[in-house]
Structure 1
Amino acid sequence: MTSRRDRNTLRLGVVGTAVLAAATVATLNYEALPLVGGGTTYEAEFGEAAGLAAANEVRVAGIKVGEVTDVELAEDRVLVSFRVSDAWVGNRTTAEIKIKTLLGQKYLALHPTGDAVQDPDDPIPLGRTTTPYDVTTAFEQLATTAGAIDTDQLAQSFRTLGDTFDGAEDHVRSALDGLSALSQTIASRDAELRTLLEHAHTISDTLAGSSDEFERLINDGNLLLTELDHRREAIHQLLVGTHDLAEQVSGLVADNTEQLGPTLSSLTEVTDILRRHRDDLDRTLELAGPYFRVVNNTVGSGHWLDVYLCGLVPDNRHPCQPPDRR
């Protein structure tokens, strides 16, 4: 028979194993947990997947804000599900699949805009999404096209071309001489070409290191154009008002030309008189300064005048001195 202690140990082992398994599953799928993972799941419709896959990044202004959770076919379009956290998504947000690396890795770029929050139940429509031109697909199509070439027909074309130039040795020789001269010229410029290629490599490295800045510049320009589009009516009204004001001012000047002409002529005569008597006016202001200063000192004590009469009383034995006003 199993003792009670053995039964408790067995139960504790089973419970501990279950808790450990649950913790492991939760750790591997913590982003999907409602209280830990966080974020909001949205959907967007695209004309094609363009190589986008689950676990690809979701970026806003070049910053990762989430990841793609699913890519599935929905009738004649592709439905992309993605989760976003710590980012605002408006009801006019646009989505674009962009190339992340030259190896063909993609990411989903969002351009948030709008006057309300995007409803997670409503996918971003096809009219607000774009897909990039895939260079890898183009090379695959090139390989398919090259594989479909009829080599026998191509060989026959070259034989026909050779027969055509069979009687034109002089012309062919001249063409080859020209190609030889061109190759010698290029060979003589080898150092310059090497320097040019090195500088081009430096420029390409600089551009590659500044790709994020270029992307932010393009995104900021897009936001600026979007804001100008929103303010288009206000800017139109401002321009219309400025045009109307210019017309009113022009009409005012035209209506008062007869009155403004004599007034301006008289004003010119006045300025001429003042200019001719400028020295007299300067002398007058120079002499008037001390006079007004003395008058100001006389009436500066209140509602009366301060007057000092020297020698009025015979007992004044001291010489006349003005009173001390300090």
Structure 2
Amino acid sequence: MVLVLALVAAANADSLPIIGAGIAYEAEFSEAAGLAVDDEVRVAGVKVGKVVDVGLDGGSVRVRFKVEDTWLGDRTTAAIKIKTLLGQKYLALDPLGAAPLEDVIPRERTVAPYDVLDAFRDLSTTVRSLDTEGLARSFEVLAEALPGGPTVRGALSGLTQLSETIASRNAALSRLLANTAAVSRTLSDRDSALVRLLSDGNLVLAEVAARTQAISTLLAGARELSRQVRGMVDDNDVALRAVLGSLDQLTGMLQRNQESLATGVARLAPLIRYATNATGHGHWGDTYVCLPVVSACY
């Protein structure tokens, strides 16, 4: 039983209150804003811990985190900030106060960012519901009613032209913002895959960097081998020239007598066949002798 408890404690050592990695604190936020478990906790841009739990607590979001070797004061503030363009977040702490932090960091001292995806969605909705034609007419009426001189009239005329341009491109702008929101939503949905892809790319680059010495050694060895082969060829240049010259003469002779060699091989085939038939019955050979004198063959 003691052994089982020891194994369970070793597997969950980070979660134990005394021997776990770091000191646990909590903070209340108005919303999670995409913060997740295992996200970094930073003080002045330096990683000091990680988030261990994110959950609802009534109308607030309770974030539990651990920090190591970091002092937090009783007026510490916390903010959820954007770590990457893909939407990954981290918890930023500002350790203020003279006494050590013992209570939960309240919502009054925490800040949750406005999500970029929500901003795109709200902007798309706002532009789609905007009466740009009425806005242009309002600017025109205002420009005619104000006796502010050419400067005011010029400014209002410019605003009128801007409103007319926006009105003429209203549908295109709405499609653009809707597509932008869709792209941002897709990136947010594939955030883990993109982060994994970038991490794998970093692993590949790290492996290439680790094998740089081996690649350099291989290239140096190939260069040395080339130098040795070149030196061997230079040292045996005369002998190689003689051998290559003789080989060239031999191939030339064979090429000149190619037809004779082919004829000889063709005529040699029957002789080899007859010799094989005569000697293929054991330790003796068959012979055929014709004696024309006695007009008989034995």
Q: TM-score, normalised by structure 1?
A: 0.41
